[in-house]
């Protein structure tokens, strides 16, 4: 299961994109993080990194 990103909570810091080992996360045109569902390996690194707990597994 890919992670779920709460777009209302995300502050656009991009910290999660830097820790994803498979490059599944990117920032969209609205400055919010998005997860490529087919790429995410559910490792949890981004969940632990997000400063506002916007990402859940
Ligand atoms: S759970 Fe792991 S693989 Fe999936 S988006 Fe987060 S850091 Fe990347
Ligand atoms: S680490 Fe959290 S707040 Fe920062 S871009 Fe990722 S989801 Fe948004």
Q: Specify the pLDDT at position 56.
A: 98
**19 in contact with ligand 2, CB cutoff 6 A:** no
Check pLDDT > 90 for residue 1.
no
- Indicate which residue's Cα is closest to atom 7 of ligand 1: 20
Percent of the chain, pLDDT > 90?
Answer: 96
pLDDT per position as a tens digit, 28-48: 999 999 999 999 999 999 999
Which residue segment(s) compose the domain that 40 sits in? 4-56
Q: Are 19 and 3 in contact (CB under 8 A)?
A: no
| Ligand 1 centroid distance, CA of 40 (Å) | 5
Look at residue 35 and give its three-state secondary structure.
Answer: strand
CATH assignment at residue 40: 3.30.70.20
Q: What predicted TM-score, i.e. pTM, was given to this entire model? A: 0.95
Q: Collect all residues with Cβ–Cβ distance below 8 Å to 33 and sequence separation of at least 6.
A: 5, 10, 12, 14, 16, 17, 25, 26, 27, 46, 54, 55
User: Averaged over 6-13, what is the pLDDT?
Assistant: 98
Domain count, the chain: 1
- Look up residue 45 and give its two tokens: 């690194």
**54 in contact with ligand 2, CB cutoff 6 A:** yes
| Ligand 1 centroid distance, CA of 45 (Å) | 6
The ligand placed nearest to the CA atom of residue 55 is: 2
- Average pLDDT of every residue of the chain: 97
- Look up residue 1 and give its two tokens: 């299961």
């Amino acid at each position: 299961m890919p992670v779920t990103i709460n777009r209302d909570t995300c502050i656009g810091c991009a910290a999660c994109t830097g820790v994803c080992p498979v490059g599944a996360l990117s920032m969209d045109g609205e400055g919010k993080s998005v997860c490529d569902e087919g790429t995410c390996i559910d490792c949890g690194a981004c969940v632990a990194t997000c400063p506002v707990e916007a990402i859940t597994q």
